[in-house]
Chain A
Amino acid sequence: MAIGENDIIVCEGVKKWFGDFQALTGVTTNVKEREVVVVIGPSGSGKSTFIRCINRLEQHQEGVIAVDGVEMTNDLRNIEQIRSEVGMVFQQFNLFPHLTILDNITLAPIWVRKRPKDEAEELAMGLLQRVGIPEQANKYPGQLSGGQQQRVAIARALAMEPKIMLFDEPTSALDPEMIKEVLDVMKELAESGMTMVVVTHEMGFAREVADRVLFFDYGTIVEEGTPEHFFTNPQHDRTKLFLSQIL
C-alpha cells in the first residue's frame, strides 16, 4: 500500500501469534492525520490485539508498524517515544488507585515530559474542565463513578498531548446511563481534530463520528469503508451476519 503524505499510522502485513495461536493474520491499513477510525468485529477477532500493537503493549512478529514516521522496533527509546505520543484508554479504566485524580493526570507529564509541577497541574485542571469534572480533582479513583473514572482516564491520556488516541472498548464496562457522558467527550475530541482509533460496539457512535469503519474477523480486516457503506450496503457475508446480530 502506498504511504500517503499525511498517513500517521502505517500497518503492513502485521502478524501476531500467542504461542501457536495466530491472533493477527496480516493486517494492512493506514490512518491519516485527523482521521477517526472505528474498529468493529466479533469478540476474539483480534481488535484489541491490533490496537495494542500500535503502541507496543503487544509485540507483532511479522510486518511493519510505523507511527508518525517512526518504525516500531525493539529499541527501547523508540518505544517510549512512540508511547508518549499515543494515548490509550482501556476498557477497565486502569486509573492508579493510590493517587488522587489530579496526581493520576499530572504524573506522566511531570516525570516523562519533564514539565514543571504547577504547569502540569494547570494543564490537568484544564483537561478536567474539558471532560466536565473539575470538582473531582482531589478525590481518589475509588470515589468516582465508572463514567467519571473513564473521563479521567481520557484526561490522563490527553495530558501527554498525544498525536493519536487509541480507545479499547471504552464504554463496555459502564452502566448504560454513563455511556453517553463518555461518548460525548469522545465526540468532542473527534471534532477537535484528534486522530483516533476506536474499538467499540456503539454503532451509533460509529455512524455519527467515524470517517472509516474496519470490520475485523479471524485476525484480519474483512471489510472496510465509510459508515454509510457499512450500515446500508455491507458486502461481505460475515459483516452482514455480525451487523444483523448487533443492530
Chain B
Amino acid sequence: MAESKIVLPDLPGAEYAPEPPPQGPVVWMKENLFSTPFSVILTIIGGLIAVVSLRGIFGFVANPERIWQAVTTNLRLLMVQAYPDQHMWRVWVSIGVVVVLTALSLAAWRVGGRTSGRKLTGNVMALGGLLAIIGLVADFPFEMNVTWAGIGLALAGLGYMIRRMMGERAKAENIPVLAVAGGLLIGLVASLWVLQVPVPDPDSGIRAATTELLANTTRIPWLLLLITGFVAYGIGIAIRDWKPSRPLLVAGWALSYPVIFLHILRGTRMNNLSEYLLIGLAFLVAGAAIIYALVNLDIGESGRLISGILLIAALVTWATPVLIIIRLLLLILAVFALAAPTFGGSGGSKYRYMGIYAGTVVVMVYLMLLATGTSAVQTQSAVPFGGFMITWLLAIGAVALSFPIGVVLALARTSSLPLFRVMATVYIELVRGVPLITWLLMSVVVFPFLFPEGVEFEDVVKVLLFFTFFSAAYLAENVRGGLQAVSKGQAEASNALGMSTMQRTAFITLPQALRAVIPALVGQVIATFKDTSLVAIVGLFDILLIAKNVVPNQSQPFNFLGSIKENLVVVALVYWIFTFIFSRVSQRIERNLGVGER
C-alpha cells in the first residue's frame, strides 16, 4: 500500500434554525384565540371585559366634568409643595447630579444591548394598534374617537412601512438600545415645547379660555438636563477605561443622597466648620499613625491590645457628654484598628486600607457638619420638603440607610454568638410586630422623649429614621434568607483556605447572599417607595396628601373644589410609572449578574 489516507466525513457546518412559516394575523388568531370551542367562549368573554373596561376608563378621562386643569395648574405644588421660588435651582441641581451620575454609570458599566428593527417596529405597531382600539371603543366625543383611531392606524402603518422598507436588515440586532432610549428622551423633552394645556379663566369659572405650554416654566431646565446627560455620557465613554472610575462612581452614588438632601436641598449652613475640621485632622493624623503601626510593625499581641483599648474607650465616650463627632470618629478608628490585621494586607493594599480610613473620616466630618447645621431654605411651614420630592427623599434615604443596618442585623441573627443572635431577633420581631403606621405616629409623638434634652430633629428626619429602622428589619430577613441559601461547601472551602470568619463573610458568603436576594430587595424598594404615602398621617404634605386635601379645596384663584378624583388618578399613575421602571431595571440587573454563573 503506497499511501493510506483516512478520509474523515465532512462535518456539517452550523446552520440557522429554520424560520417558522410566515403567519398572518388570521393564523395567529386561530391558533391562540379560537383553537377550541371553549377558547372561543373565553376569548369572547375576555374581549367583552376588555372593551367595557377601556370604554369606562377612557370615558372617565374624557368626561367633560373632569377638571384636569386642577392637576396641570398644580403640577408644581404636587411635585415640590411650598419649596420657595428663589431656591428652585436647588431642585434642578439635585436632579442634575442624579442625571450626571446615571449617565456616567451607563457609560462605565457599558450598559445597553442591541435590538433589531423588527422588534422596534413591532413595538411601534403595537402602540399604534392600542391607540386605534382605544379610539374605536372609548366613550369619547365622536371627533376624538376619529382622531385617536386615525393616529393609531397611522402609527401602526408607519411601523409596518418601515419594516417593509428595511426588508432583511430588520432582523439584524444592530440598533443600540441606548440610542433608542436617547431618542425617546429627546422626543419627550421636545414635546414640552408643543404640549398645550388649557388655562382656567378665573372670571368665568374654571372653563378654559386660552391654552399655554404644559411645561411653561420647566422646559428650559429640562432641556439643560437633557444636554447635561448627553455630555456626561460622552465624558463617561472617554474615561471608562480609567481603572478607578467604577469605584469612584459607587462612592459618588453613596454620597449623592446626603449631598442632595442636606447640602443642596436643605441648603445647610455649616456652623461648626473650623472646629470640626480641626477634630477631623487630628483623627486623620493619629489614626493613620495607629493603623500604620498595626499593619506594618510586627507587634503581635500588643496590636490586639491597642485596638481593644480603643474600642472600649470609644464605647465609654457614649456615656459621656463628649461631642458626638468625636464619639463617632473614635468608634470608626477602633473598628478600623480591629480589622487592620485582617484586611490591611501587604504591599499596596495596606495603603489602600489607610486611604479607605481617611476617606471614611472625611465623609463622617462632612456628614456631621451637615447634620449640625441650620437650613438656609425658609418656608412658612417648618419643613421645606413636601410633594413628590419628599416621597423620593424618604424612599431613597430609608432604603440606602436601612441596607447596611439590615445586613448587620442578618449577620447578627445568623451569628454563632448567642448575645448577638438574641438582640437581632428581638429587634426584628419587635419591629415587624407593629404596623408601620403606628411606628410613624410614635416617631413624632413618642420619639422626642427618647432623646436627651436639646437634641431637636425636624419631623422629616424623625420619620426617615423610623422608616429606616422599619425597613431594616424586613431587609434583614431577606438577607438572612440569602445567607442560608449559600451552600455549606462555600464556607468549608473558605475555612480550608485558612480565611477568618470576617474574611469569609466579606468575600464569600455576603456577596453570594446579596446576589440571591436581589428580587426580594427590589420588592422592598418598591414597597418602601409606596409606603412613604403613609407620612400623610403625621402631617407631612407628600404628593398623596396634597392631591387628596389641598388641591380639591382650592377656590382661589381658580375653582378646583371637588377635583379629588382627577388628582388621585394622576397620583396613582405617577406611582405606577416609577414602580414599573424599578422592576424593569431590576430584571436587567438580575440578568446581567447571572452572566457566567451557575
Contacts and interface: CB of A to CB of B under 8 A. Distances in A.
Contact of B596 (A95, A110, A142): A142
- Which of B349, B494, B596 gathers most chain A CB within 10 Å? B596
Interface residues of A, number: 34
A108 B497 contact: yes
Interface in A137-156: 139-143, 156
Contact of B503 (A94, A112, A117, A157): A112
B495 A83 contact: yes
B21 interface: no
B512 interface: yes
A107 B345 CA distance: 11
B598 A97 contact: yes
A139 B597 CA distance: 10
Interface stretch (A23-31, A84-92, A125-133, A232-240): A84-92
Nearest to A138: B596
B346 A114 contact: yes
A111 B503 contact: yes
Contact of B497 (A97, A116, A160): A160
Contacts of A84: 497-498
A141 B598 contact: yes
Given A94-B489, A94-B490, A111 B507 contact: yes
Contact of B507 (A88, A92, A97, A107): A107
B493 interface: yes
Interface string A69-108: 0000000000011011011101010111110000000011
B173 interface: no
Contact of B496 (A88, A92, A139, A140): A88
A171 B512 CA distance: 26
A116 B343 CA distance: 13
Specify the main secondary structure of chain B where it touches its partner: helix
Contact of B493 (A90, A110, A116, A119): A90
Contacts of B512: 96-98
A57 interface: yes
Contacts of A141: 598
A139 B596 CA distance: 7
Contacts of A160: 497-498
A65 B389 CA distance: 65
Contacts of B347: 115-117, 119
B508 A96 contact: yes
B597 A80 contact: no
B346 A116 contact: yes
A88 B344 CA distance: 26
A55 interface: yes
Contacts of B344: 114
B418 interface: no
Residue from the set A92, A110, A111 with the largest chain B CB neighbour count within 10 Å: A111
A97 B499 CA distance: 17
Contacts of A55: 496
Contacts of A112: 497-500, 503
Contact of A110 (B345, B515, B598): B345
Nearest to B346: A114
Contact of A111 (B343, B489, B490, B511): B343
Contacts of A57: 492, 495-496
Contacts of B507: 96, 107, 111
Interface string A39-60: 0000000000000000101000
B13 interface: no
B499 A111 contact: yes
Nearest to A139: B596
A139 B595 CA distance: 11
Nearest to B593: A98
A80 B493 contact: no
Contacts of B596: 139-140, 142-143
A82 B563 CA distance: 75
A156 B494 CA distance: 11
A87 B496 contact: yes
Interface in B339-358: 342-349
Given A92-B489, A139-B596, A142-B597, A117 B498 contact: no
Please indicate which of the listed interface residues B498, B503, B512, B515 has the most CB atoms of chain A within 10 Å of its own CB. Answer: B498
Given A88-B496, A108-B499, 17 more contacts: A57-B492, A57-B496, A83-B497, A94-B493, A96-B494, A96-B512, A97-B512, A98-B512, A107-B507, A110-B345, A111-B342, A111-B503, A111-B507, A116-B348, A140-B596, A142-B598, A143-B596
17 contacts: A84-B497, A94-B487, A94-B490, A96-B493, A96-B508, A97-B598, A98-B512, A108-B497, A111-B503, A112-B500, A116-B346, A119-B347, A141-B598, A142-B596, A143-B596, A156-B497, A157-B497
Closest 8 CB pairs of A and B: A116-B347, A84-B498, A140-B596, A94-B493, A108-B497, A94-B489, A88-B496, A114-B346
Interface of B: 342-349, 487, 489-490, 492-500, 503, 507-508, 511-512, 515, 596-598
